[in-house]
Amino acid sequence: MPTTMKAVRFHGSAEGLRVESVPVRAPGPDEVLVKVAACGLCGSDVHFLEGMPVPGPLPVTFGHEPSGTVVSAGDEAAEWQPGDRVAITISDGCGRCRTCRSGAPEACPQQRAPGLHLDGAFAEYVTVAASSLVRVPDGVSMAAAAVATDCVASPYHALKCRGRLNPGEQVVVIGIGGLGSMAVVLARQLGAGRVVAVDRSPAALARAMASGADDGVLVADDADATAASRGLLAAVDGGAELVLECVGRPDTTTLGGLALVPGGRLVLVGVGMAAPPIPHPQALFALFEYSVIGSFASHKEDLIEVLRLEECGAIDIEAAISHRVTLEEVPAGYERLRQYQGDPQRIVMENL
């Protein structure tokens, strides 16, 4: 087993990211050491780079969207063998608390996710709980499997499990980045009657239309949510049953709340630190039965399903990858993502 490796370490927003040499942690009895093949660069990490608190202690190795091959496993993880192709879910709860027992491990208050609470996969190797592993089908590339762990499984979970999308309903997706682009594809796959994409970028809207959106609404950077809602309400014929907010900003959250029909559900997928401003009096929440729902990550079953959809050709995760970088290029990749240079859809680090 290797003793040291290169890793991209985050010491805090004032210092940014640095490639360093760190020890390889041997797996415990219920853990597995994985040689990282690929790991997605997630927009939520940009919030950490800009000052949002990281859930775990610093310094930490970023990277919560990984795939790779098993190197070794602890005595209690005998089902995993060297060479097994795996993807790693970030929503592996403790399995014992009330939240986990109720079927929501992604919301476990004791969750220890790689790249967030403990060292992640922007490294040559990562050590994780065996319970967080999912087998990657032979017909799925390792890059696609990495993207699937969050960029695909998370919007699938938001649409199906949290948003309870019913066939024929109208869906609005606000923010056509990595998550939002796949949300458009998956909403169509899950039977949405009409899908409307909202973004400030004409290129993002064009991408959404090519991915199956029925209409796109361009929102100017300086537009307030009330003004922006006029064009959106016209596009969805007065409102939508399901709205996914994939940005994490107050103005886009307000816009999502304004786009609901009675009985509608606003699912907050984007990560932000501001309180979500929903511009309806409580009486309307009661009378019209509006719902505002949080959604984080996914169930392991969601990841298994999106990998199956990729293998059978129902979706094309590879097509969502716009840029590929090496381990040493990860800091520059995040800067590209932060500055929105070259219309980044999904950036993936590959260990070649």
What letter would DSSP give residue 254?
A: H
Three-state DSSP class for residue 288: helix
Q: For the segment 317-344, what is each residue's pLDDT rounded down to a tens digit? A: 998 898 999 999 999 999 998 887 777 7
Residue 237 sits in the same domain as residue 211: yes
Residue 103 sits in the same domain as residue 139: yes
The pLDDT score that the predictor gives to residue 271 is 84
Residue 301 sits in the same domain as residue 289: no
Cβ–Cβ < 8 Å for 230, 223: no
User: Which candidate, 342, 339, 252, 246, places its Cα nearest to that of 294?
Assistant: 246
Those residues with Cβ within 8 angstroms of residue 142's Cβ, 6 or more apart along the chain or in another chain: 37, 38, 67, 68, 85, 136, 350
Q: For the segment 100-119, what is each residue's pLDDT rounded down to a tens digit? A: 899 888 888 888 889 988 99
CATH number of the CATH domain containing 267? 3.40.50.720
9 within a domain of the structure (yes/no): yes
User: Which candidate, 122, 130, 124, places its Cα nearest to that of 84?
Assistant: 130
User: Which candidate, 20, 61, 27, 35, places its Cα nearest to that of 124?
Assistant: 35
Q: Which of these three, 294, 316, 336, is where a domain ends? A: 294
Q: Please, what's the b/e burial string for 161-199 (b: 16 or more CB within 10 A of its CB; e: otherwise)? A: bbbebeeebbbbbbbbbbbbbbbbbbbbbbebebbbbbb
Residue 87 sits in the same domain as residue 213: no
The pLDDT score that the predictor gives to residue 171 is 97
Three-state DSSP class for residue 174: strand
340 within a domain of the structure (yes/no): yes
Q: Which of these three, 263, 279, 294, is where a domain ends? A: 294
Cβ–Cβ < 8 Å for 183, 204: no
Residue 197 sits in the same domain as residue 313: no
Those residues with Cβ within 8 angstroms of residue 283's Cβ, 6 or more apart along the chain or in another chain: none
Those residues with Cβ within 8 angstroms of residue 205's Cβ, 6 or more apart along the chain or in another chain: 176, 197, 199, 213, 216, 217, 218
Q: Compute the chain's Rg from CA coordinates.
A: 20
Residue 18 sits in the same domain as residue 144: yes
In total, how many domains does the chain have?
2
User: Which candidate, 32, 30, 26, 129, places its Cα nearest to that of 73?
Assistant: 32
Those residues with Cβ within 8 angstroms of residue 260's Cβ, 6 or more apart along the chain or in another chain: 239, 240, 241, 243, 266, 288, 290
Three-state DSSP class for residue 47: helix
The pLDDT score that the predictor gives to residue 228 is 77
114 within a domain of the structure (yes/no): yes
Residue 109 sits in the same domain as residue 237: no
335 within a domain of the structure (yes/no): yes
Q: Which two tokens stand for residue 182?
A: 């796949």
Residue 304 sits in the same domain as residue 269: no
Domain that holds residue 38: 4-151+297-350
194 within a domain of the structure (yes/no): yes
Q: Which of these three, 294, 322, 339, is where a domain ends? A: 294
63 within a domain of the structure (yes/no): yes
User: Which candidate, 135, 139, 137, 132, places its Cα nearest to that of 89?
Assistant: 132
| Whole-number Å distance between alpha carbons of 313 and 311 | 6
CATH number of the CATH domain containing 310? 3.90.180.10
Mean pLDDT estimate for the chain: 92
227 within a domain of the structure (yes/no): yes
157 within a domain of the structure (yes/no): no
Residue 208 sits in the same domain as residue 144: no
Residue 172 sits in the same domain as residue 244: yes
- C-alpha dihedral over 7, 12, 15, 18, to 10 degrees? 0
Cβ–Cβ < 8 Å for 143, 350: yes
Cβ–Cβ < 8 Å for 183, 173: yes
| Whole-number Å distance between alpha carbons of 63 and 81 | 23
Residue 173 sits in the same domain as residue 288: yes
Average pLDDT per run of 10 along the chain, which is 352 residues long? 93 90 96 97 87 88 96 95 95 87 88 89 96 96 96 96 96 92 95 94 91 90 74 83 94 91 95 84 91 93 96 92 94 88 86 84
CA–CA distance from 289 to each of 164, 258, 263, 284 (Å)?
15, 14, 5, 7
Residue 199 sits in the same domain as residue 265: yes
| DSSP bridge pairs for 22 | 5
